[in-house]
Each structure stands twice: as C-alpha cells, then as structure tokens.
Structure 1
Amino acid sequence: MPRSILLAGLLALVAGCSGDAEPEAAARPALVVQARTQGAALSAYAGEVRARHEPALAFRIGGKVARRLVDVGDRVKAGQALAELDASDVSLQRESAQAALASAESDLALAASELERYKSLFDRQLVSRSLYDARVSAHEAAQARVRQARAQASVSENQADYAVLRAPGRGVIAQRLAEAGQVVAAGQTVFVLAEDGEREVLISVPERDAAGFAPGRKLAVELWSMPGRRFPGVLREIAPAADAQARTFAARVSFDPGQASVDLGQSARVYATAEGGEELAVPLSAVYEHEGQAALWVVDAAKSTVHLRPVQLGPYGERWVPVKSGLQPGEWVVAAGVHLLLEGQRIKPIDGDNRPVELVPAPADAR
C-alpha cells in the first residue's frame, strides 16, 4: 500500500510540472511575397461609342403627331422630314392672320385716300389744322396695323412650317421618343440624331479618379470588336457634377479610328495610365479589411512574425493593386490566407511552390 501511494504522488507531481510549461505554438505556413515596383498602373473604364454631336430634335410648336416618317437606325440627310403634326389648327391660324392682314391693308388704303382728300382741302384752307392732323394720325395708325398684321401672318406661315420636323444634318436616328397619335408639347424631344462625323466614347469616371481627369488628357481606346488594338484618344470633356445615383462623372473621349469601321453604340474600353511613375504593388489576395480600411499583414523579416498595417490603395487591377502609402519597397507581405492570421503570430514563410523562403530585410534607407 505505501508503494501505491508513493507512485500516485509522483504521477501527480509530474502532471503538475507539465501543466506549468505549455509548448510553444508551431509557426503557421504562409505564402509571402515581396512588395514590388511596377510601371504606372493602367486603369480601364468601360464605355460606349457615341457621336460627337447628338442634338435632341423637337417641334417648335405643340400638337398631335400625325405621321412619323423615320425609325431608329434610319439614315437621314439634312432637311429630310422626320415627322409631321396635325396642321388643322395651324392652317386656320394662318388663314385668320392672312384675313387680318387683308383687312388692315384695306383700312390703310381708306386712310390714305382720306388723308389725300383732307390735304387738298387743307391746302385751300377749307378745313382746320386739327382735322388734317387727325387724318395724318389715322393714316400712321393704319400703317402700323398693317405692319403688325403682316408680322403676324409671317409668324403663322412659320408655324405652318414648324408642323414638319426636319433633320438639321446628316446622321442616324439614335432614339425615338414619340409615336404617331401622341400629343407633344413645344420643345419636347421626339428624336435624337447622331450626326455623321467625329466619334467619341462615353465613360463613367468614379469619384476617386475624377480629380485626375482634366480635358486634354491623353488616353487610349480599345474597341471590343478589335481586341488588342488601341487607338489614341483625348479626354474632351467631363461633367462638372456627379450623377445623383451612380456618383460617377460622365466623360467623353475623342479618338481617331483611322480606317477602322466604328458603329454607334459599340462597346469600348478607355485606358488611363496613372500619373506618378513607378509605384509599389501587391497581389489582390494580400489585401485585408480591418475596421473598414484596407490593410496588409507585413512580415517582420528578423522574427518571422506578422503585423497588421493600414495602407492606402490605388485602383484595383486584374491581379495586383498599387499601394499609395503605408508600405516600403522590399517589405514582405502575406499573400494568402490573410483572414486566418493574428497580430504578432509567427509564420513559416513559403513561396507559391511550397518552398521555404529566406526573408531578406528591406534596405535601411527604404524604411
């Protein structure tokens, strides 16, 4: 019995000693990469080919659309009729104006004859000066009424012409916004015409990039129908205010396609090279979000431990993202499994082929 008690005591002592010294946690394997410098980042913006001039066509008077003579996609020439209004009321107004003009001219003829007669009587001193002056005033008033009636008749003639909507130039009907039988107001858009000539690409620029887009900036345009072929372009204009819903700025890029065939509405990409020369970049998989801010797990090369560091990133690319601030050239970052790490955790650095990586500290002048 005493030997059993002694053995139990020794086992308890050994168990107590082993609980006081926990084994050190094993280092976690982690894929690491070294922050590298790359050429200025190339940002791509999706766009659509549009005409340089796209006037919205509308009737200058209101009325009911009697006929629609063209459809979307039709080519038109300058002066071609596109739609007509019901001209019944316009014709009546024109007849009324012409009748008023005829009446005013008749009154003028009567006033002229009265003036001539009174002048003859006044010269023979058979009527007073006041009566003669009254006839002069009546004649001048009749002349004014004729001018007024003639102007009103011209307006009525113009309105009769306004009942026919005509194309201001050659081009293609891009939109149709009214149909036969519809009542439209004066100035209400009926068609949108894409005029022949210069072509542009309409893009949407995010708020973070808008400051770098000034008219005259050199860009490159690539059509989806011709991948790999880029045409030189220039930013012609950018909207002064952001879209209320998308919060992006509409921008138009002029480009010269040369002999290439470019269709309206064709998809395109506009490439912009970031200003500032070379910059640091890390893989997209290295980016970690901490409290709503981008961060990287930076490796302490001397201790093989990781530390979370907030950084400022540039526009995201397909595989890499530029780092604007918060990282120095040559520093190592964890490039995979960033959501599994803890602050100060020891790692076993490996490369993409599962081979151990010897961490080389960044140069002192880069820190």
Structure 2
Amino acid sequence: MIRLLALALATLPATAHSASPACGGDPAAGRPVVSETVSADPTRKRVFAGVVAATHSTDLAFQTIGRVARIEVDPGDRVAGGDVLATLDRVSLQEDVASARAALSAALAEAAFARQSFERVNTLAERGIAPRAQLEEAEAARDATQAQAEAAQADLARARDALGHGTLVAPNDGIVLSTEVEEGTVVAAGTPILTLADLKGREAVIDVPTEFLQVLPQDAQFEVVVHAEFANPRKARLRLVEPVIGDNIRTRRLRLTITEGDSDFRIGSLVSATLARLDLPVMTLPATALTGTETDPAVWRVLPPDRRVERVGIKTGRRLADRIEITEGLSVGDEIVTKGAACLRDGLAVGPRVAP
C-alpha cells in the first residue's frame, strides 16, 4: 500500500501539467477560445429591453369634493372625447345645493329685516328721538347681514358648480391606462381618478448604463422591435434623458419617440431597442479580453489563415459598462480573443471561432 501511494504521488505533477485543467482542450488541436470581431459600433451588442408608453397621458380628476358613485371604464378601454368616465354621488351634491339655497334665503331675510330696522332708526334719529349710538348699531347690522347674504349667494353658486362638475368626461379620444380610486371613495378636488393616454404618439422607455451616455449623441436614432413578434424594426428618436437616476444608480432612463409605425405598438408591450447608427468612430472590447498590466495593456489577435495568435499592445480609453474603449493598436475587422486569453502564448494555434 505504501509503495502504491508513493508511486501515485510521484506521477501526480506530470499528470496535472499535461491536463491543464484551467485551460482545457488539446493545444495540438487548437486551443478553444471565445473571440470577437472588432467593430466601430460600441453598442453592437447592446440591446436594451423596454416598454411602450404613450407620448402624452393625462391624470383626470373631479373639480370638486365628493363621493365616487361610479367608475364607468376599466384599464385598457378605448374612449371617445365626451364619454362619461366617472360620476360623483349626485344625491349628496343636490343636498348641498338645497342647503345652500336655504342658507341664502335666511341670509336675505335677515338682510331685509336689518335694512328696514336701519331705515326706522334713521327716521327717528332725524327727528331727534333715537340716539346716535342706536343709529350706528343699526347701520352695522345692516352692513353685516348684507355681507352674509352675499356670502350665501357665493356658496349657492359653488354648490351648483359642484353639481355640474360631478361628472368626469373624456377631454379627447384615448385609452384608459389605470384607475386610481374605487367606487365609494370620498375624494377632494384634484385627486387623480384615472389616467388617460392619447391615441396618437408612442414612445419606448428603456434603462441604460450610465456609461452608455458617453457615446450617445443628442440626436441618437434607435431601432425598436416588439418582443415575441415577427415584426420589422421601427425607427425611434431619443426625446429625453430623464435627469433623475433610477433605482439602480448605474442606470439612466431614456424615452425614445417612435417616429414610424407607432400605431403598430400597443401600450405596455415589451420591446428591444438598439442604437441604429453604425458609424460612430469608437471601438470597444469586453474587459475580459485585456491582458498585461494597467500601464501596458494588450490583447491577443487571431491571424488568418492558420489561426495563430499574436500579442498586441493597445491603448485604452473610457470604460463603458462591461466594455473598454480601444483608442490605439487595433483596426476594425480584427478578431480578438475575449475569453481564454490567460492560456495563450505567441504563435499558439486556436480552434474555430466561438462567438460570445
């Protein structure tokens, strides 16, 4: 047993060296690697998922306080301008009008009585019978009751307006995106009841890494395609880079106005967006392709026709998410090893290209 164990230990280093488990494969048959062809488009492989939204949407609300009696629509319903969307409890609104009318009648009666009292006291004062203080008191009562009557008149006008505003109608044709309250809810004036999207205009909303903005022109053009559909890509234009950073501090939200075929996109559909311009003078590679040191970076270039590799010194620029900008040392069309570079040496043959 001891002799067998010693024999195994003696042969272990040679076995481990020949197998090269960290690199794998048979060097004589070509080292298996993953490579990428250098392109002048830094976003060639950057496809961003997003969702279709309406270019214009509006939160609709009642202009008065009240209890929601009915909501006539559901999310996804298409409505026409003038259609009734929701109503408040008209019984309570009519009671408010009746109460305001009664308060006005009482205020007018008090104002009339105070005016008559002032006229009587004024006549007596002219004859020298009523004292000056009594006249001033009657004058003050007349003015106060008149002001109360005017306030009651205004309250009645507001109650009548509220009765007229108890019906929420669609200002234009659109699609109901969401309803914010339930029937029976007491709402204040201006409380959002539902959100209505305009039928015209669609945009794609996507989140991109913050570094992506460094290579994004102000007039960036995108191609947008709907998920799970065999549809042709549609062109979209960058409308807005939202100034607020997303929940993930490494992303920013872009809004892309779909400039052609927007009627083919349904609100809420999942889409993919890619930068349409392919002439940006920027070359990038995955960070995994770099070898060497920070002061002397390099990559492995595959040379045709026998697919042997050579080490090429490069200069790097900005970091764009998981990719590095290459400023010098490479040309468009070069095939560069992106995975497996640690197992290479000059002149070593590699196997057929495997795309990442």
Judge same fold: TM > 0.5, yes or no: yes
The Cα shift of 1:310 comes to: 10
- Within the candidate set 149, 153, 156, 1:150 is matched to 153
Matching of residue 117 in structure 1 with residue 139 in structure 2: no
The Cα shift of 1:194 comes to: 0.6
Structure 1 277/219 Cα, relative in aligned 2: closer, same or farther at 3 Å? Answer: closer
The Cα shift of 1:62 comes to: 5.7
Structure 1 352/271 Cα, relative in aligned 2: closer, same or farther at 3 Å? Answer: same
Partner of 2:194: 191
Counterpart CA distance in 2 for 1:251 and 1:226 is: 25
3-state SS in 2 of match to 1:349: coil
Q: Match for 2:120: what amino acid?
A: R
Counterpart CA distance in 2 for 1:199 and 1:68 is: 26
Structure 1 257/306 Cα, relative in aligned 2: closer, same or farther at 3 Å? Answer: closer
Q: Match for 1:334: what amino acid?
A: V
- Within the candidate set 298, 301, 316, 2:300 is matched to 298
Partner of 2:337: 334
Counterpart CA distance in 2 for 1:289 and 1:118 is: 107
Matching of residue 95 in structure 1 with residue 98 in structure 2: yes
3-state SS in 1 of match to 2:349: strand
**8 Å Cα contact 2:315/2:329 also seen in 1:** no
More off after superposition, 102-111 vs 28-37: 28-37
More off after superposition, 126-135 vs 167-176: 126-135
3-state SS in 1 of match to 2:247: coil
Deviations 1:299-357 (A, max 9, x none): 699x97769999665467xxxxx64147622587435534xx35x8455134738xxxx
Counterpart CA distance in 2 for 1:249 and 1:335 is: 27
3-state SS in 2 of match to 1:71: coil
The Cα shift of 1:269 comes to: 3.8
Q: Which runs of 5+ in 2 are unaligned?
A: 1-19, 21-25
What TM-score, normalized by structure 1, do the two folds share? Answer: 0.67
Partner of 1:324: 325
Q: Match for 2:237: what amino acid?
A: G
**8 Å Cα contact 1:30/1:334 also seen in 2:** no
Deviations 1:235-266 (A, max 9, x none): 1x232222225853333222332685443334
Summarize the alignment of residues 92-241 of structure 1 with structure 2, pairs less than 5 Å apart: 92-180=95-183, 182-186=184-188, 187-210=190-213, 217-224=219-226, 227-235=231-239, 237-241=240-244
> Looking at CA atoms only, which structure, 1 or 2, has the larger radius of gyration?
1
Counterpart CA distance in 2 for 1:259 and 1:238 is: 20
Counterpart CA distance in 1 for 2:248 and 2:338 is: 35
3-state SS in 2 of match to 1:104: helix
Counterpart CA distance in 2 for 1:213 and 1:133 is: 79
**8 Å Cα contact 2:236/2:256 also seen in 1:** no
Give percent identity, aligned residues only.
21
- Within the candidate set 247, 252, 255, 2:255 is matched to 252
Q: Match for 1:190: what amino acid?
A: I
Partner of 1:357: none
Q: Match for 1:324: what amino acid?
A: E
**8 Å Cα contact 2:42/2:283 also seen in 1:** no
Structure 1 53/258 Cα, relative in aligned 2: closer, same or farther at 3 Å? Answer: same
Counterpart CA distance in 2 for 1:122 and 1:221 is: 91
Matching of residue 49 in structure 1 with residue 49 in structure 2: no
Partner of 1:352: 352
The Cα shift of 1:103 comes to: 0.8
Partner of 1:265: 268
Q: Which runs of 5+ in 1 are unaligned?
A: 1-24, 317-321, 354-367
The Cα shift of 1:276 comes to: 8.9
